[in-house]
Structure 1
Amino acid sequence: MTEVDKRLRDVVRQAAGLPFFSDRYAHLDLAGEFSITDVPEMTREDITASMTLASGQPGRGGAYLFTSGGSTAAPKVAWIPIAMHLDAILGHWRPLGPGDVLANLAMPGRLWSAHYFYNGMAERCGADAIGLGHVEAGEWPQWLDFLDTHGTTALCGTPSTLEQVLALALRLRHPILRRLRAALFFGEPCPESLVRLCREEVPGVRLWGNYGSTETWVIGHNGPDCDATTFHVFPHQHVEVVDGSVLVTTLHEDAVSPVVRYRIGDRARWTQCACGGDRALRLLGREGALIKFAGTLVAPDELLGLARADASVAAAQAAWREADPERLEIRVVPGAGATPDVDALRARLLDSQIDLRFALRGDDDAFEIVVVDRLQVNDRTAKTPSLVPLDPPR
């Protein structure tokens, strides 16, 4: 029995002592060497129920309560130890060092975790932190001056925010680019356009990313020599890929509430990262993200992947209206100096979706490629969703 197998069974046995898990684990021989694959998976609803019951349990240290969601549905909660597993994380992923000044662009407040995590990371690394948070687009020229004046060497934020800030600094030929050396991303997939921007236009800025969720906390990390969609799993996180779906069990001894075979909702496969490191997980998108449009099931992420693969497209987002008259827009941001051929792009997307192409006969206006200057961003989290609601017609 390996040390990981032993720790997995210990986590399950500890969980079995809580009311939420006792019935779920009744079929397991907890005294024996049961297989982790015999343990039921956890859903988001399970995570919320178990963590609510586990809060206030004696014999543990203090914790933060963070949430995910809450914009359109009930928030999903997670109790995270005050130390936020930072020692375990920084032992393998350390993008900052003494002398760095981090501009923290993550949104603070409303139980949103990233802002506090990156402030804590800066402290542990011996760096300074400027807790700036969200900035409106028109305010950025003045804030770039401010950040440059105060010696900023690193930025952290969603890929959407980082790309916006770096592209503006490049257009302005802002002196802050002489000092910036790192951009830390989280919260959403890193687009190829941001990778190209850092690699070709601002090569002094190197990309560092982490992957996880509020419920599991940080699962994996990557660095400047890694593929942007590939993350190396931390030793305190046990990841299974079952039929393409990611299941996570948290092994950290300071975990407040059990996270056992949690189905995080992502698709992935094990791969070999360009950096040569091990335990590399390549993310392939969300699972089960289907909408009913034109009488057929459509996977917006598949359409967006095809749109982003077009050389003239820098970024893409789907906007959907379910109510009559239903409509689906694929909104695309042009690449630098490019003009997307919307008719050719629309035809290419429909050719990949035979059912959708057939369903739209005689109703072509319901599906359209729309060129936009920027994509819609969530005001609370600064994330750029793949799918947004389309306003009803006036």
Structure 2
Amino acid sequence: MTDTAAALRTLVRDATRFPHFRDKYGKVDLDGDFDLAELPEMTREDVTVAAEQAAAHRPRAGSAYLFTSGGSTAEPKLAWIPTEMHLGELTRHWQPLTDTDVLANLASPGRLWSAHYCYNRVAELAGADVIGLGHVADEELGQWLSFLTRHGTTAVAGTPSQLERILRYCERTGHPFAGTLRVGIWFGEPCGPELPLLRDRVAPGLGLWGHYGSTETWVIGHNGPGCPVDTFHLLPYQHVELADGAVLVSTLHPGAVAPVIRYRIGDRAEEVACPCGRAGRALRIAGREGSLVKFAGTLVGPHQLVAIAKELPGVTAAQIVLTGDAGIAERMEVLVVGEAAEDAVRAHLLASQIDLGFALRGDDEEFTVRRVDTLPANPRTGKTPDFRWVQAH
């Protein structure tokens, strides 16, 4: 039996300690021809119940954080994460910082958000200094970037949206902060081509280092300056299956508090050879699985609409604002950043969606495009989601 197969058997066996999983996995023959693919997938509800029951039933061998993910477009999901956050293992494979760095951590603390504590700990393990700044609003950027420059900041940890805002500010104003940076750690949302292009123009000495994962699974994969931003090297303790392109994760780390077995993270991916040449499995993340909403009598994918809008010259960022509930939108507003004309963006989107274009043949008030200077971000996490729901009144 391989080490991975043995670890998978142990993972499933240990899961049956929790009442919620006794019926789900209790009848699996772990001594026979065990086939992981025959096990049912874990759902979001399973993950939340696992976190709750882990608190009540796990041996008190160590302390843990209760963190949450989601909540901007769905109910938050809870997960217990050991306070060491598996970072001893991670930093053996991923080392963006050294003991000469000063890290500005733009992730905000509190509200069960994990990134602030994670990247403080990454810096601590490297011997680097930390400025735990949190999210910075647009009107404060100049003041805080001057502060960070005075204090010798060489690295920034933030969402791609936050890093882009900083580089755009430096490009627009000539602020010297970008020239002091050598490390940009990004997390929390997909990193599109905009950030590398900005980096090339404004801060060519800035290396980009990213993570892929979720609060429930913790870090699944990582990349560095030699990797495309959509490609991640898998950590040894994360067993990843691709089921018709969908990512299923089983976490084999012996320090995991709650079981994660064939959890469908919600992304599509393909296995690739990363151009950096690092050995081991690597995944290219191809985007989210079908998160569709009904609008104007047809199903549309907000993530896809954002990607299509950004294909148009003159659009640097986009966001969909949906008004409605229960997955049915009454109105859709497309917010765009850039120089493209609103009418051109609207025509481009409708031309790309045959059903939507047929349903909206007139100048419908239910579907509008509006240019903005910046997209609204989640003030708790600094993430800029592809789409937001606004409750219909």
Deviation at residue 325 of structure 1 after TM alignment: 9.5
Indicate the larger mover: 363-372 or 126-135. 363-372
Q: Which moved more, 1:55-64 or 1:352-361?
A: 55-64
CA–CA distance in 1 between the matches of 2:36 and 2:64? 27
Distance across 2 between alignment mates of 1:342 and 1:333: 10
- Provide the residue aligned with 2:103 in structure 1: 102
CA distance in 2 between counterparts of 1:253 and 1:217 reads 13
Post-superposition CA distance 1:33-66 (Å, at most 9, x none)? 3111011100111011112111142153111111
Which structure 2 residues correspond to residues 85-100 of structure 1 after superposition, within 5 A? 85-100=86-101
Q: Deviations over 1:238-276 (max 9, x none)?
A: 111112211111011111111111111112222222323
- The whole-number CA distance in structure 2 between the counterparts of 1:144 and 1:356 is 44
Measure the CA separation in 2 of the matches of 1:65 and 1:26. 27
User: Which position in structure 2 is the counterpart of 1:298?
Assistant: 300
Give 2:119's aligned residue: 118
Q: CA deviation at 1:74?
A: 4.0
Match of 1:221 in 2: 222
1:142-181 paired onto structure 2 within 5 Å: 142-181=143-182
DSSP 3-state at the match of 1:257: coil
Q: Distance in 2 between matches of 1:297 and 1:392?
A: 19
2:333 matched to which residue of 1? 329
| Partner-residue secondary structure (3-state), 1:311 | coil
Q: 1:341: how far off?
A: 3.9
Letter of the 1:330 counterpart: V
Shift of 1:372: 1.4
Consecutive unaligned residues of structure 1, counting only runs of 5 or more, are none
Q: Is 1:62–2:66 an aligned residue pair?
A: no
Partners in 2 of 1:70 and 1:347 — Cα distance? 32
Relative to structure 1, is the Cα distance of residues 390 and 370 closer, same or farther in structure 2, using a 3 angstrom cutoff? farther
Q: Which runs of 4+ in 1 moved over 6 A?
A: none
What one-letter code is carried by the residue in structure 2 that aligns with 1:63? A
1:84 is matched with 85
Rounded Cα–Cα distance in structure 2 between residues aligned with 1:354 and 1:170: 39
- Aligned residue pairs total 389
Match of 2:319 among 317, 320, 341: 317
Preserved contact between residue 108 and residue 381 of structure 2 (Cα < 8 Å):
yes
- Matched with 2:283 is 281
Cα drift, residue 390 of structure 1: 4.9
2 CA distance for matches of 1:65 and 1:327? 36
Secondary structure at the aligned position of 1:347 is classed as helix
Corresponding letter in the other structure for 1:40 = P
Q: Distance in 2 between matches of 1:285 and 1:276?
A: 23
Q: Flag the 1:178–1:341 CA change in 2: closer, same or farther, 3 A.
A: closer
Q: Which amino acid aligns with 2:15?
A: A
Show the counterpart of 1:235: 236
Q: Helix, strand or coil: the match of 1:95?
A: coil
Q: Deviations over 1:91-144 (max 9, x none)?
A: 111100111000000011011100000000000011011101112211111111
SS in 1 for 2:200: helix
In 2, distance between residues paired with 1:34 and 1:117?
Answer: 35
Q: Deviations over 1:177-235 (max 9, x none)?
A: 33211111000011211110112321011111101111111111111111111111111
Query: Structure 1: how far apart are the matches of 2:330 and 2:74?
Result: 22
Offset at residue 288 of structure 1 (A): 2.8
Shift of 1:353: 1.4
Q: CA deviation at 1:72?
A: 6.3
Q: Who is 1:355 aligned against?
A: 355
CA distance, structure 2, for counterparts of residue 24 and residue 387 of structure 1: 34
Equivalent in the alignment of 1:257: 258
Q: TM-score, normalised by structure 2?
A: 0.94
Alignment of 1:12-51 (within 5 A): 12-51=12-51
Runs of 5+ unmatched residues, structure 2: none
State the distance in 1 between where 2:63 and 2:198 align. Answer: 41
Q: Is contact 2:248–2:263 with CA below 8 Å preserved after alignment?
A: yes
Aligned pairs (5 A) from 1:200-219: 200-219=201-220
Q: Secondary structure at the match of 2:24?
A: coil
